[in-house]
Amino acid sequence: MIKETILLAIIEGLTEFLPISSTGHLILANQFLTFPNHFASTFDLVVQMGAILAVLLYWRKKLIPKNKAELKEIFPLWKKVLVGCLPIFVLGFLFHEILEKYLFNPTAVAGALLVGSFYIWAAEHYVKKNQQKATKTTEQMTYRDALSIGTLQCFSLWPGFSRAAATMGGGIFSGLSRAAATEFSFYLAIPTLTAAGIFKLVTVQLILTQEQIAALLIGTAISFVIAYGTIAFLMKWVQTKSLMPFVWYRILLAVVVLWYS
């Protein structure tokens, strides 16, 4: 199980914050691995905790207050984050069983990769056409902006669409700069992924073995390290470059998956 653990944790760390869908990649990877099916979905969600820790560490100065004065400055941002998470909390809770039954398969992932590619392309087109408008920072965004981005985040319930793509695009459509949209996407990941992981652990009827517990711990540690590097890379990338390379990658992967299927 150790080889599968390392591979899946690396995939999680690399893909969680890039607009290419970590869930989609994990579903595809699990088609070729001998990971126990009853444990795979739990593993995929729990190792996201490593990615969350990476976000908290990278953005600790903006997200974790050291005193009351900083708390007053940071609290409005956290309120926007929570407002942005409300739509996916509701829809995820109501429809998680239906989604897992019908969309957690390679063909559905390929469809989401393609649809999400056009979504990202539209966001990049918007940036080029509205360069003077897409300049808001996370501090300047409104609660309405946060709710709009959070509503679009619900597209990520379709595995393969990508939570990062949905929120980055939503931020751009709401007038945020590409960098600010990416930053807010990271913030939204904290409560969204935490809630998904906790919900899975509470609802799943699974007694973990010592080997599986070890796999979760190792996987979480690896995903933390890889995700931190990915965050640093992406923030540097979006300062000067577009998201179009990710679009072409998504289309290529979708074609390969459909051909193989």
Nearest CA to 199 out of 67, 70, 95 is that of: 95
Residue 256 DSSP class: H
pLDDT at 73 over 80: yes
Return the pLDDT at 70.
81
Q: How many CB atoms lie within 10 A of CB 80?
A: 24
226 close to 9: Cβ distance less than 8 angstroms: yes
pLDDT at 204 over 80: no
pLDDT at 203 over 80: no
pLDDT at 244 over 80: yes
Q: Please state the rounded mean pLDDT for residues 176-195.
A: 94
- Express each pLDDT in 22-40 by its tens digit: 999 999 998 888 776 667 7
Q: Please state the rounded mean pLDDT for residues 152-156.
A: 97
Backbone dihedral region for residue 21 (phi beyond 0: left; psi -120 to 50: alpha; all else: beta)? left
Q: Which range has highest mean pLDDT (127-131, 157-161, 201-205)?
A: 157-161
For residue 259 the two structure tokens come to: 């051909």
Judged by DSSP in three states, 136 sits in strand
Q: Please state the rounded mean pLDDT for residues 199-214.
A: 77
Return the pLDDT at 53.
95
**With bands split at pLDDT 50, 70 and 90, how would you rate the model's confidence at 213?**
confident
Return the pLDDT at 46.
83
Residue 23 half-sphere exposure toward CB, CA atoms < 13 A? 27
User: How many domains does one find in the chain?
Assistant: 1
d(CA 36, CA 212): 10
Return the pLDDT at 3.
86
Nearest CA to 156 out of 144, 168, 147 is that of: 168
Rg (CA), the chain: 18
Residue 78 CB-density burial (10 A; 0-12 exposed, 13-18 middle, 19+ buried):
middle
- Express each pLDDT in 39-66 by its tens digit: 777 788 889 999 999 999 999 988 988 8
Return the pLDDT at 205.
63
pLDDT at 181 over 90: yes
Residue 87 half-sphere exposure toward CB, CA atoms < 13 A? 18
Could you give the dihedral angle defined by the CA atoms of residues 50, 164, 244 and 60, in that order, rounded to the nearest 10 degrees? -60
Compare 80 and 134 and report the one with higher pLDDT: 80
- Express each pLDDT in 109-123 by its tens digit: 999 999 999 999 999
Predicted model pTM: 0.92
Return the pLDDT at 68.
79
Average pLDDT value for the chain: 91
Compare 130 and 95 and report the one with higher pLDDT: 95
Name the residue range of residue 71's domain: 2-260
